[in-house]
Structure 1
Amino acid sequence: MTSSLVRGRPRHATAHIRVRVAHALVGAVAGAGWLAIPVLAAQEPATASPPPRTAHAAPSVPSAPSTPSAPRDDEPSAVDLILPVAVLGTAGLLAAYSYVRRARRSPGVVSPAPAAPTPAESDRQARAALVQADDSVRASEEELPFAAALTDERTLAPFRRAIQTARAELSAAFALWHRYEEGEPQDPGDRRQALAGIIGRCAEAGRVLDARAGELDRLRWAEAGPALGVAEGTFRRLAARAAGARATASLLRERYGPSVGARVAGRVEEAMDRLVFATSRLNEARRAADLGEDGRAVRRLRAAEGAIAQAGILVAGVDDMARRLREAAALVPAALTGAEAVLAAARDAGTPVPSAADDTLAAVREELTAGPYDPLAALRRVTRALARLPGARTGVLDTAAGLVARAEAGEAEDFVAVHRGAVGADARSLLAAAVRTLGAPHAVEAAVLARRALESAERDVRAHGVPETDAEGVAGAVLGGVLLTGEPDGGPPVAFGGPGTRRRFRTD
């Protein structure tokens, strides 16, 4: 869907309206002054003239005048002063207006129109918009399965379409950002337009989700009891799976070495931390529901659902990793044989061969006989060493590269999903680029992008600070973006919707 950027009145339009009103007022005052001249002149009393003398009248005797004499012709009257006063008043008004306009335009006076953002400010705005839109889409996707347990697919169809639309807008925004980060376009004006397009698409993604948030709330929270029952059932099933994941982590450590075991054990520990938080919030939600405090019950339940969803991602990730490790272990010998055949064919054809290719293959063969090793890491090294040679993207090597790419992308996706409270725009953009490249398909390039995304996300989490495990798991829920922070108990829980509605479940 193509975003419809807002083309409404700019913010400085109000200032233009005020200027036009001032123009009208000055014109009205000046016109009123000119129109008042004849009216005022008509109201001025006339000068008394002596009565006419008759033929029989006796000659008057000169006497001392009892009243002041009439004004002389060369003395000014009130009528004579009206015109100059009106002209001076109008000129004064015009001068005052001109002064105000010059003051508006002078450098020392702040213009009512907002200054255009600098490139650095636009960059920060685009990054924040990408993170917020990505969080909104992820939170909306996490909530929908809980709603699906209480209603039919036909009812949920509008919400699924909203998520798909928002996801499409977000993907387009990430594609623009990835090109921007790689230096395209180069023209400064085009780069400003690219940032505006990124922000606009993120805003559209949020708007689509915000438009459906209230409707989903009415559907889900007419009463908290049924939704609470669904969450408690999901929690019990997931807790049993988490116990199995702990056993799987121990088995993988023994079979594939400490590096694999550490990664899997970390997933299990984080899953247990989310389940601890979910336990606390579910208990509080149940107590609130029993007391008839539906608002409090809904807030606590929504937080529990977010934690349950993330625990599910972590536990499923353990199972996925175990399956991919088995597939990789079975594929390594064939991949080595195929790689040696590609090297031999390249040499026969006179094609330059990477200098480290033979050393890489020899090191991987040595790992196979030395003891436990990471088969996915072995396949990654083999496929990258021969990526530019003819024949490296066919047969068993292509299969191996696809397996590595899917594993890398899945691991990066899970890490970002459960640490989104700390992960920034760069890691998310690299992950989106990896997914696009995987669908191209360009498996080796996708694997490289996914690895970079994971490393970037891990740096963000280290910079943010890994929280110490607390009794109720609140710190982990904040790191995972289940809670939005800002309040003593961690802040409001996230829910279906965009930036405009994401804080609607504020804590008590």
Structure 2
Amino acid sequence: MTSSLVRGRPRHATAHIRVRVAHALVGAVAGAGWLAIPVLAAQDPATASPPPHTVDAAPSAPAAPSAPTAPSAPRDDESSAVDLILPVAVLGTAGVLAAYSYVRRTRRSPGVVSRAPAAATPAESDRQARAALVQADDSVRASEEELPFAAALMDERTVDPFRVAIRTARGELAAAFALWHRYEEGEPQDPGDRRQALVGIIGRCAEAGRVLDARAGELDRLRWAEVGPALAVAEGAFRRLAARAAGARATASPLHERYGPSVGARMAGRVEVAMDRLVFATSRLNEARRAADLGKHDRAVRQLRCAEGAIAQAGVLVAGVDDQTRRLREAAALVPTALTGAEAVLAAAREAGTPVPSGADDTLAAVRAELTAGPYDPLAALRRITRALVRLPGARSGVLDTAADLVARADAAEAEDFVAVHRGAVGADARSLLAAAVRTLGAAHPVEAAALARRALESAERDVRAHGLPESDAEGSAGAVLGGVLLTGEPDDGPPVTFGGPETRDRLRPGTD
């Protein structure tokens, strides 16, 4: 086994050793060069010993006349010694440069980690921002799903900090989605500002996750000291929801004849997915009860969280059937009045000389024909009416404003429910459009909000089609993966989602239990 000291050594420690060796080599070469300079300069030919085999002349002998000796001979020897200084200095400099080049090459070798990693490309930053948005949105949604089960075992004062954490995380996420929506619309335009916008998005998402992570351990301590009470709460919620799901199926059946095949198919699809989640919940509740009876605490907690996530999503779908059915009835009662109001707005615009949108008259005529032709989708009819007149004076008053608000809320709810129960496949674009629809609806722009919600739903449906619908299985595990109830593509072994951010939401990963 590798020791902790070896594991803790920085990767560039070897590079530091080579640097020290190179520095020592440079110092040695430079020192030798400087020491050689005075030695060479001290070699004076005038004081040097005579060459061997030379016989001195007798002192009494008169000096024989000879050719005059060049007085510059000693200076020539002096120049030779001085001339040696330059080559030595050159050699020293060359050594220094060679050692420096070696060090530079060593530091740049592939085996050494750079201290300053390369900046992310715009495409990479874009990908990171998308991933951060999806992860943060999943964390907030999972935390919102789990908290009601925990709240059933606690008093309001105990639950309040967790609600505050979710609200804070939701606020950070909303700000991140607003930044992303502006970014996707081309704002800001400066490349530097766009990079900073992506940094801000990632930072907001990280803060949302941090807030939830900070509370995750505390919630576990409060929830899982004993599995029995939490299991009883989940089983009670399951029984109540199963009865409601049977009622939702009975409610959805006649919608095909009353409002047309498109409405009937949408409602039937909701009921089908809800039943799939309930089948999954049944299996996991049984596993949790069995594990609890055997004293396998960790396994019981994990299976129970799987069941709770599926129950929460089934509840969203069942409630959606009831809510959409109610809105369909309201819309059907409102369509004739909305048609009359729209025709009055067109007539007033013509009298005032205001340009009328092209196709507005044809739209109203087509909707009026649908009223007598048979079953039709009243929400779709109101959507067409309000869109056709949105730019005319008077389109935001009276019955038309009521119709626009009803359509916007219905479209936003439908998109929200679809994203919630298919989030394992839905990407950042659909989620961002949905967040923009909610903001726009809050700003009292219902027609624009409805358009954004429809775009969000269409984008989410494309993501699911591209991901692929799961094959039906006996326990509904594949649907739970698509819905994000399980975090991995391994339904039997993947961890269930939990309250928390990216650092803690998969903490129930299977162990050795």
| Bucket of the pairwise TM-score, normalised by the shorter protein | 0.7 to 0.9
Cα distance in 1 for residues equivalent to 2:110 and 2:137: 42
CA contact (8 A) 1:417 1:480 kept: yes
Greater alpha carbon shift after TM alignment, 243-252 vs 99-108: 99-108
Matches for 1:72-471 after TM superposition, within 5 Å: 98-103=100-105, 112=114, 113-471=116-474
Q: For 1:310-364, what per-residue CA distance to the aligned partner results, in whole angstroms no more than 9, with x for missing partners?
A: 0000000000001101111111111111100100010001111112111111111
Unmatched runs of 5 consecutive residues or more in structure 1: 1-12, 35-86
Q: For 1:220-269, what per-residue CA distance to the aligned partner results, in whole angstroms no more than 9, with x for missing partners?
A: 00111000000000000000000000000012222212111110000000
Cα distance in 2 for residues equivalent to 1:313 and 1:108: 53
SS of match in other structure, 1:144: helix
Shift of 1:489: 1.0
Q: For 1:43-83, what per-residue CA distance to the aligned partner results, in whole angstroms no more than 9, with x for missing partners?
A: xxxxxxxxxxxxxxxxxxxxxxxxxxxxxxxxxxxxxxxxx
CA contact (8 A) 2:132 2:206 kept: yes
Matches for 1:19-58 after TM superposition, within 5 Å: 26=23
| AA in 1 matched with 2:204 | R
Relative distance call for 1:255 and 1:353 in structure 2 (3 A) is same
Cα distance in 2 for residues equivalent to 1:490 and 1:379: 47
CA contact (8 A) 2:144 2:499 kept: yes
Relative distance call for 1:108 and 1:506 in structure 2 (3 A) is closer
CA contact (8 A) 2:22 2:103 kept: no
SS of match in other structure, 1:346: helix
Q: For 1:162-211, what per-residue CA distance to the aligned partner results, in whole angstroms no more than 9, with x for missing partners?
A: 11111111101101110111111111111111111111111111111111
Shift of 1:274: 0.1
SS of match in other structure, 1:441: coil
Shift of 1:289: 0.2
Shift of 1:147: 0.5
| AA in 2 matched with 1:149 | A
Relative distance call for 1:190 and 1:312 in structure 2 (3 A) is same
Q: Which residue of 2 aligns with 1:59?
A: none
Cα distance in 2 for residues equivalent to 1:21 and 1:164: 54
Q: For 1:379-421, what per-residue CA distance to the aligned partner results, in whole angstroms no more than 9, with x for missing partners?
A: 0000000011111011110110000000000000000000000
SS of match in other structure, 1:493: coil
Shift of 1:158: 1.1
Cα distance in 1 for residues equivalent to 2:18 and 2:160: 51
Cα distance in 1 for residues equivalent to 2:166 and 2:423: 18
Q: Does 1:483 align with 2:486?
A: yes
Relative distance call for 1:452 and 1:490 in structure 2 (3 A) is farther
| AA in 1 matched with 2:423 | R
Unmatched runs of 5 consecutive residues or more in structure 2: 1-9, 32-88
Q: Which residue of 2 aligns with 1:66?
A: none
Q: Does 1:501 align with 2:507?
A: no
| AA in 1 matched with 2:463 | D
Q: For 1:2-34, what per-residue CA distance to the aligned partner results, in whole angstroms no more than 9, with x for missing partners?
A: xxxxxxxxxxx9979x87996899599969x98
Relative distance call for 1:288 and 1:88 in structure 2 (3 A) is farther
SS of match in other structure, 2:485: coil
Shift of 1:153: 1.1
Cα distance in 2 for residues equivalent to 1:310 and 1:108: 49
The number of residue pairs the alignment matches comes to 448
| AA in 2 matched with 1:483 | L
Structure 1's consecutive aligned runs of 4 or more residues displaced over 3 angstroms after TM superposition are: 13-16, 18-31, 87-97, 104-111
Cα distance in 2 for residues equivalent to 1:323 and 1:153: 32
- The TM-score normalised by the length of structure 2 is 0.82
Q: For 1:103-162, what per-residue CA distance to the aligned partner results, in whole angstroms no more than 9, with x for missing partners?
A: 268799976121111111111111111000000000000000000100011101111111
Q: Which residue of 1 aligns with 2:43?
A: none
> RMSD over aligned Cα, in angstroms?
3.0
CA contact (8 A) 1:173 1:201 kept: yes
Shift of 1:488: 5.5
Relative distance call for 1:342 and 1:226 in structure 2 (3 A) is same
Cα distance in 2 for residues equivalent to 1:479 and 1:183: 32
Cα distance in 2 for residues equivalent to 1:97 and 1:161: 61
Cα distance in 1 for residues equivalent to 2:369 and 2:235: 50
CA contact (8 A) 1:103 1:109 kept: no
CA contact (8 A) 1:30 1:90 kept: no
Greater alpha carbon shift after TM alignment, 88-97 vs 279-288: 88-97
SS of match in other structure, 2:254: helix
CA contact (8 A) 1:423 1:457 kept: yes
